[in-house]
């Protein structure tokens, strides 16, 4: 059960990373900002103000999206690897800020006691909703005008802009959506984990896992993050006794995938045999 | 006013250490056009290799450098030759992700082989300080690190300007295709550049190991520092890297002096974000 919950939530967050990196050309190393903010909003609202947990999860997503809006002002002035590093530095800055902030209990973290009353079944349905919702959302975006604009931008940014695609608006929209959904997924995740502290919540490890999931599954495809998340969760389960071995294998697999099959599992399936579950093409 | 001398002095010395950490990243970024995300973990790998050598042979870490440096050069040469040269023609992203994969594999392998305990390279100078004035004491390890860093950067600068291999590296950095026309085997040159980068990482690893405590997962922390220095100082200029390191070190320690020691890294990061949004190519970088 726990495995499936983890799968749904990672699939959702991976879809959002894919939306940024695979479709908007924004390689983000800062998803952990939104994960930490979503989780902490839930923790603070539920613990210190007695908010109902599900409302707090939604507020968490909103807080993450607002932060994304604010941080996009400096970050969107950078491109490529500087954007990636900038988003990572922002996350590290948040980590230290939270570690020194007494309002959120600084480094000792927060126990979300109201989460004890939430049953695993409820969390399961929430995770299912988030996971399925994320996939549906990405599919809807890709079939919409925003998606058409994104496809054009990824081909040739200048040509797309010359026919009226607003590049910065499209990228900002994806950035905000990604932050919102990642924040909500994090809220559900911390609802299940019940304890949050800055070192883990804002750790780069989150984004590294999401990156590997999307790369192995297939970047730029809708099914890719799902397949990748499945692979990741299975690997964790199989090697659950050997702590770091599953991440070592994830890294090694990502290297092999990049050398032998750069389009990822789904990408290669699609390229060689035209295998597609979810088509985003317009006929 | 005098109270600022200590943080500024510490900042300058720390900045030299930061520059040593960043030099390898800057070299590879400038020459091979590759962002080596494994750089931090390679530095920590060097620290662990040095630790193993000191424990196996009972020698000082600085003597162990004679073993660690050639090992790291070979590792870098092979890494580039076998893995990265294959990925480079496919574009920037595949090599980026391969480096991230190497970083993850290294970190987790170190965590599996050596326990996650804190380590440091043992040296008798670890707690020694030089009292210069009543408002200024200088930690010896910082001085050793700073001097080693400056010497290394100076040597690299001379190497790139005066030797044939250095000029070949710069030629390959400027225009790989024309360099090939001139008879330079860019595959071997890139491998040599990566090897040199890992040599600097080895030196940085020894400096870091003797100055700070390190864990198997300390890699990303130093990668961020390296990135920060490259952002502030600009890519491709050795002097820029040194200046960037010093700027970052001073910014960090002045921030810690004003706000408190817990905020040292935070002021550094805010300074970096500021430079990133205002002048991303760095102080000495070429305008994009």
Predicted confidence (pLDDT) per residue in B158-185, tens digit? 888 888 888 888 888 888 788 888 888 8
Q: Answer whether residue A273 is part of any domain.
A: no
For residue A207, give the nearest of A118, A282, A95 by alpha carbon.
A95
Q: What length does chain A have? A: 283
- Find the CB nearest A96 among B105, B265, B280: B265
**Average pLDDT in the B209-229 region?**
90
CB contact under 8 A, A251 and B102: yes
Which chain A residue lies closest to B94 (C-alpha atoms)? A258
* Domain coverage including residue A6: 2-203
Identify the pLDDT of residue A209.
93
CB contact under 8 A, A74 and B273: yes
- Find the CB nearest B104 among A90, A250, A262: A250
B-chain residues near A245 (CB < 8 A):
108, 112
Strands A195-196 and A110-111: antiparallel
Which H helix or E strand runs over B257? Answer: helix B238-259
- Find the CB nearest B224 among A89, A99, A243: A89
Identify the pLDDT of residue B139.
84
Identify the pLDDT of residue A53.
85
Which chain B residue lies closest to A263 (C-alpha atoms)? B94
pLDDT in tens, chain A (283 residues): 788 999 999 999 999 999 998 888 888 999 999 999 999 999 988 888 888 888 899 999 999 999 999 999 888 888 888 899 899 999 999 999 998 888 888 888 888 887 778 888 888 899 999 999 999 999 899 888 888 888 888 777 788 888 888 888 889 999 999 999 999 999 999 988 888 889 889 999 999 999 999 999 988 888 889 999 999 999 988 888 776 888 899 999 999 988 888 888 888 888 887 766 666 665 5
Which position has the higher pLDDT, B12 or B126?
B12
B-chain residues near A213 (CB < 8 A):
none
Identify the pLDDT of residue A130.
92
Largest CA distance in chain B: 61
Least confident of A178-182, A252-256, B38-42, B235-239: B235-239
CB contact under 8 A, A93 and B105: no
Identify the pLDDT of residue A11.
94
Identify the pLDDT of residue A280.
63
CA-based radius of gyration for chain A: 18
Given a contact cutoff of 8 angstroms between Cβ atoms, the answer to whether B245 and B252 are in contact is no
Identify the pLDDT of residue B239.
85
Residue B287 predicted with pLDDT over 60: no
Q: A86 in contact with B at a CB cutoff of 8 Å?
A: yes
Identify the pLDDT of residue A229.
94
Identify the pLDDT of residue B286.
62
Counting DSSP H helices and E strands in chain B, the numbers are: 12, 2
Dist. CA B268–CA B254, nearest whole Å: 9
Residues 263-282 of B with CB under 8 A from A: 263, 265-266, 269-270, 272-273, 276-277, 280
**Average pLDDT in the B254-270 region?**
87
Identify the pLDDT of residue B288.
45
Identify the pLDDT of residue A281.
61
Q: Answer whether residue A219 is part of any domain.
A: no
Which residues is B131 bridged to in the sheet?
A: B137
Identify the pLDDT of residue B164.
87
Which position has the higher pLDDT, B278 or B196?
B196
Q: Answer whether residue A140 is part of any domain.
A: yes
Query: How many domains does the structure of chain A reveal?
Result: 1
Q: Answer whether residue A216 is part of any domain.
A: no
Q: Answer whether residue A33 is part of any domain.
A: yes
CB contact under 8 A, B100 and A208: yes
Identify the pLDDT of residue B202.
93
């Amino acid at each position: 059960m726990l495995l499936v919950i983890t799968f749904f939530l990672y699939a959702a967050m991976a879809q959002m990373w894919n939306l940024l990196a695979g479709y908007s050309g924004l390689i983000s190393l800062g998803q952990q900002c939104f994960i930490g903010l979503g989780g902490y909003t839930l923790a603070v609202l539920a613990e210190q103000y007695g908010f109902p947990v599900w409302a707090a999860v939604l507020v968490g997503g909103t807080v993450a999206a607002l932060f994304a809006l604010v941080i996009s002002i400096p970050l969107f002035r950078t491109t490529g690897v500087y954007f990636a590093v900038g988003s990572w530095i922002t996350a590290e800055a948040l980590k230290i800020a939270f570690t020194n902030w007494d309002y959120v209990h600084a480094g000792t973290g927060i126990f979300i006691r109201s989460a004890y009353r939430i049953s695993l079944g409820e969390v399961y349905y929430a995770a299912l909703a988030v996971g399925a919702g994320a996939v549906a959302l990405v599919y809807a975006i890709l079939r919409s005008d925003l998606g058409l604009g994104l496809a054009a931008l990824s081909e040739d940014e200048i040509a797309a802009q010359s026919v009226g695609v607003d590049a910065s608006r499209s990228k900002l929209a994806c950035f905000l959506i990604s932050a919102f959904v990642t924040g909500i997924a994090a809220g559900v995740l911390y609802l299940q984990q019940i304890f949050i502290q800055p070192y883990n919540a804002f750790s780069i490890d989150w984004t590294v896992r999401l990156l590997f999931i999307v790369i192995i599954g297939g970047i730029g495809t809708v099914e890719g993050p799902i397949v990748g998340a499945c692979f990741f969760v299975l690997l964790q389960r199989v090697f659950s006794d050997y702590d770091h071995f599953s991440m070592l294998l994830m890294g090694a697999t990502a290297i092999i995938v990049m050398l032998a099959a750069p389009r990822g599992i789904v990408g290669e399936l699609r390229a060689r045999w035209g295998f597609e579950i979810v088509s985003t093409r317009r006929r | 006013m005098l109270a600022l001398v200590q943080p500024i002095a510490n900042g300058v010395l720390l900045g030299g250490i930061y520059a040593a950490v960043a030099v390898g990243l800057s070299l590879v970024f400038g020459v091979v056009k590759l962002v080596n995300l494994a750089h931090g973990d390679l530095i920590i790998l060097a620290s662990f290799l040095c630790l193993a050598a000191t424990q196996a042979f009972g020698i000082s870490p600085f003597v162990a450098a004679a073993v660690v440096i050639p090992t790291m050069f070979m590792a870098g040469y092979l890494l580039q030759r076998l893995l990265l040269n294959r990925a480079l023609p496919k574009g920037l992203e595949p090599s980026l992700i391969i480096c991230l994969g190497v970083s993850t594999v290294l970190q987790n392998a170190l965590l599996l082989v050596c326990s996650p305990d804190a380590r440091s390279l043992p040296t008798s100078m670890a707690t020694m300080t030089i009292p210069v004035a009543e408002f200024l004491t200088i930690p010896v390890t910082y001085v050793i690190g700073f001097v080693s860093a400056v010497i290394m950067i100076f040597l690299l600068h001379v190497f790139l300007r005066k030797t044939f291999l250095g000029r070949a590296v710069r030629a390959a950095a400027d225009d790989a295709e024309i360099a090939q026309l001139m008879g330079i085997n860019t595959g071997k040159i890139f491998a040599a550049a990566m090897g040199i980068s890992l040599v600097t990482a080895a030196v940085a690893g020894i400096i870091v190991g003797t100055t700070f405590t390190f864990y198997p997962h300390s890699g990303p922390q130093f990668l961020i520092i390296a990135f920060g220095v490259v952002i502030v100082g600009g890519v491709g200029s050795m002097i820029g890297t040194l200046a960037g390191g010093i700027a970052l070190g001073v910014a960090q320690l002045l921030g810690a002096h004003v706000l408190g020691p817990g905020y040292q890294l935070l002021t550094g990061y805010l300074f970096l974000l500021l430079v990133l949004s205002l002048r991303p190519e760095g102080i000495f970088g070429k305008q994009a």
